[in-house]
């Protein structure tokens, strides 16, 4: 066997040397591309980013034909086996090229060198079917990887389609037209009012406003924007009214989000492949020496069997395929994994931290009661509150608007003056000023609570409800009582996490008493109450300082982004 190995190795070296000289001029002209193709370890047949889908399909077709001819040769006529040699030789050429590069440029004996030696030797000993089968499995794995990536792209696109159904107001011939976010195109003009989250990247063409870029940068940063300045998606409009010319939105935005996540995931799968390649390269030379000695001391077939051992190319696709498979499973269940590294770190997690809002309780609370302080009816109080929240999409606004819709209340058109994130909003109706917000917002306005509502506010700290106050011309006219409900699957989920030996914590912007009550109902290990959004990262850092590996769970990518940008 050893002479055969030497003969094949020398012939391969000479043929590749001649081929290299013949193509030298052409390679020099295409130096940047060739350099990238030769230097990277990702040049395994299982990972060929330079190859198009048609090329991989062609190679798979050749491998399938060669396998069929080799099998037919064993079953019917030996001449058919000879026909398979041409296809196998064609498929072997890329392996020889990479092996030649590893030996001459990298000065390293790699799995490519081992493979370039083993395959011809197997052909020399007549193992055509084995070689054809190996190539078929290899290119079948390549095709499977391509299909998995295509499915992932489609599922990612579907994951970003839902947000594109958000309603926005587009200026058409001087009239505000209600449209779905996914329908707008570059050049459209959006009309934005306080309290709305800017859904696109664009340029202010009219008006001036103050925006908060917390969800964009991870830091609470209020900026003044006026005509001619750029604004970015995920910025929150606090005060002022602006018109924005869209630079990027709709399908372009969906494609960008999809490509960003896919790039992060592909980077992780590439890393998995490189680990496998590195491990295989380390054992290539020992296996070569062991196979050669086994072939001499025992039998050629035994030596070839040992040489084949580290060359299961399909295994190099197993890791990336598993990642893509679980990514797709997660997407179908409503979980978006933005970075594949999270899957690797997940097994090290010791503590699950739930953001109370949306992750453990239903996102939109219910209006269960309306308290009045004047001669105005409950319907009128609800009308003022709902009118002030028009065009807003936060959970409180959606709850109030749903209650008004249920009572079929017609809402007057309002002029929004200002919006304070998480607190309240101020609007104008004719000559009246209407302000709607929580207790902290009312205190900032220096408005005193009526005695009847003071008692209700005190009780809300101990109960599981909150009060939203309605102010007309600096006088409180009533309050809406909002009550949240626990998600039906929350208790079961936390019990399962405890069964897997995870610690479970809650972090909430809500009051101490209701948060404590929720923690008790769900049986969590620890909770943090009255934590503003911008401070949540600091609490995550406290847990990390105690050598806890944290998995932070919120009800959307927006909630996670600002917190994790600070905490990591």
* Most confident residue range from 233-247, 301-315, 343-357, 394-408: 394-408
The answer as to whether 392 is a domain residue is yes
Q: For residue range 93-131, what is the model confidence (pLDDT) as tens digits?
A: 888 888 888 888 888 888 788 888 887 888 788 888 888
pLDDT band (50, 70, 90) for residue 232? confident
pTM: 0.52
Q: Are 478 and 470 in contact, with CB atoms under 8 Å apart?
A: yes
The answer as to whether 255 is a domain residue is no
> Is residue 162's pLDDT more than 70?
no
Residue 239 sits in the same domain as residue 280: no
Residue 15 sits in the same domain as residue 106: yes
What tokens were used for 392?
């807003």
Residue 44 sits in the same domain as residue 69: yes
Residue 457 sits in the same domain as residue 494: no
Q: For residue range 504-537, what is the model confidence (pLDDT) as tens digits?
A: 999 887 777 778 888 888 999 988 888 877 778 7
Residue 10 sits in the same domain as residue 78: yes
Q: Residue 339: its pLDDT value, please?
A: 65
Q: How far, in Å, CA of 101 to CA of 16, rounded?
A: 10
> Is residue 42's pLDDT more than 90?
no
Q: Residue 313: its pLDDT value, please?
A: 58
Q: In the chain, what's the furthest Cα-to-Cα distance? A: 106
Residue 530 sits in the same domain as residue 468: no
Q: Residue 561: its pLDDT value, please?
A: 46
Residue 552 sits in the same domain as residue 457: no
Output the CA–CA distances (angstroms, integers) from residue 55 to 39, 87, 141, 434, 449, in the order listed: 21, 14, 14, 66, 74
To the nearest whole number, what is the mean pLDDT of the chain? 75
The answer as to whether 259 is a domain residue is no
Q: Residue 404: its pLDDT value, please?
A: 92
Comparing 225 with 36, the larger pLDDT belongs to 225
Q: Residue 18: its pLDDT value, please?
A: 40
Residue 356 sits in the same domain as residue 318: no
- CATH number of the domain within which 202 lies: 2.70.150.10
- CATH number of the domain within which 397 lies: 3.40.1110.10
How many residues does this entry show for the chain? 568
Residue 6 sits in the same domain as residue 149: yes
> Is residue 233's pLDDT more than 70?
yes
Q: How far, in Å, CA of 527 to CA of 381, rounded?
A: 35
Comparing 17 with 97, the larger pLDDT belongs to 97
Q: Residue 498: its pLDDT value, please?
A: 93
Residue 302 sits in the same domain as residue 372: no
Q: What angle do CA 34, 39, 42 make, to 5 degrees?
A: 100
What tokens were used for 235?
């910025």
User: Total domain count for the chain?
Assistant: 4
Q: Which residue range(s) make up the domain with 558?
A: 348-361+486-567
The answer as to whether 145 is a domain residue is yes
CB burial readout 19-49, b (16+ within 10 A) else e: eeeeeeeeeeeeeeeeeebbeebbbbbbbbe
| CA 233 to chain CA centroid, nearest Å | 17
Helix (H) or strand (E) segment spanning residue 218: none
The answer as to whether 220 is a domain residue is yes
Residue 466 sits in the same domain as residue 503: no
The answer as to whether 178 is a domain residue is no
The answer as to whether 516 is a domain residue is yes
The answer as to whether 197 is a domain residue is yes
Q: For residue range 199-216, what is the model confidence (pLDDT) as tens digits?
A: 888 899 998 887 876 555
Comparing 39 with 376, the larger pLDDT belongs to 376
Residue 465 sits in the same domain as residue 322: no
């Amino acid at each position: 066997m050893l002479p055969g190995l030497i003969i094949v190795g020398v012939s391969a070296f000479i043929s590749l040397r001649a081929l290299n000289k013949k193509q030298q001029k052409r390679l020099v002209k295409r130096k940047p591309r060739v350099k990238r193709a030769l230097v990277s370890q990702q040049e395994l047949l299982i990972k060929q980013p330079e190859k198009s889908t048609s090329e991989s399909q062609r190679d798979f077709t050749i491998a399938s034909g060669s396998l069929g001819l080799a099998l037919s040769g064993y079953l019917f006529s030996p001449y058919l086996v000879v026909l398979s040699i041409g296809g196998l030789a064609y498929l072997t050429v890329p392996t020889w090229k990479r092996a030649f590069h590893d030996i001459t440029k990298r000065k390293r004996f790699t799995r490519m060198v081992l493979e370039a030696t083993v395959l011809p030797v197997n052909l020399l000993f007549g193992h055509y079917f084995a070689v054809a089968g190996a190539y078929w499995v290899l290119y079948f794995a390549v095709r499977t990887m391509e299909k998995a990536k295509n499915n992932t792209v489609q599922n990612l696109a579907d994951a970003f389609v839902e947000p594109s159904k958000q309603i926005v107001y587009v200026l058409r011939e001087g009239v505000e037209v209600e449209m779905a976010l996914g329908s707008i195109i570059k050049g459209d003009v959006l009309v934005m009012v306080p309290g709305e989250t800017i859904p696109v990247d664009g340029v202010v063409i009219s008006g001036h406003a103050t925006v908060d870029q917390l969800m964009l940068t991870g830091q609470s940063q209020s900026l003044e924007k006026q005509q001619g300045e750029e604004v970015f998606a995920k910025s929150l409009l606090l005060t002022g009214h602006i018109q924005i010319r869209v630079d990027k939105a709709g399908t372009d935005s969906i494609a960008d989000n999809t490509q960003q996540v896919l790039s992060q995931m592909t980077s992780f799968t590439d890393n998995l492949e490189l680990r496998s390649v590195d491990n295989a390269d380390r054992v290539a030379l020992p296996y070569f020496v062991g196979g050669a000695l086994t072939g001499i001391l025992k039998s050629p077939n035994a030596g070839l069997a040992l040489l084949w051992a580290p060359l299961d190319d399909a295994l190099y696709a197993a890791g990336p395929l598993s990642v893509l498979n679980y990514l797709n499973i997660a997407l179908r269940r409503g979980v978006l994994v933005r970075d594949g590294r999270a899957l690797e770190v997940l097994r090290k997690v010791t503590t699950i931290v739930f953001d109370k809002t949306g992750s453990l309780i239903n996102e939109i609370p219910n209006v269960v009661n309306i308290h009045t302080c004047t001669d105005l009816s409950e319907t009128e109080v609800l009308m003022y509150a709902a009118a002030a929240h028009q065009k807003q999409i936060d959970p409180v606004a959606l709850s109030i608007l749903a209650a008004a819709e249920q009572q079929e209340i017609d809402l007057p058109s309002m002029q929004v003056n200002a919006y304070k994130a998480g607190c309240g909003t101020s609007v104008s109706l004719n000559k009246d000023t209407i302000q709607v917000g929580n207790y902290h917002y009312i205190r900032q306005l220096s408005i005193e609570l009526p005695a009847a509502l003071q008692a209700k506010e005190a009780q809300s700290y101990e109960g599981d409800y909150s009060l939203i106050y309605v102010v007309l011309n600096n006088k409180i006219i009533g309050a809406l009582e909002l009550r949240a409900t626990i998600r039906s699957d929350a208790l079961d989920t936390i019990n399962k996490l405890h069964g897997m030996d995870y610690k479970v914590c809650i972090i909430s912007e809500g009051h101490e008493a209701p948060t404590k009550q929720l923690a008790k109902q769900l049986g969590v290990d620890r909770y943090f109450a009255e934590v503003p959004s911008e401070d949540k990262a600091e609490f995550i850092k406290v847990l990390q300082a105690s050598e806890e590996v944290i998995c932070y769970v919120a009800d959307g990518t927006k909630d996670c982004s600002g917190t994790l940008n600070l905490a990591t």
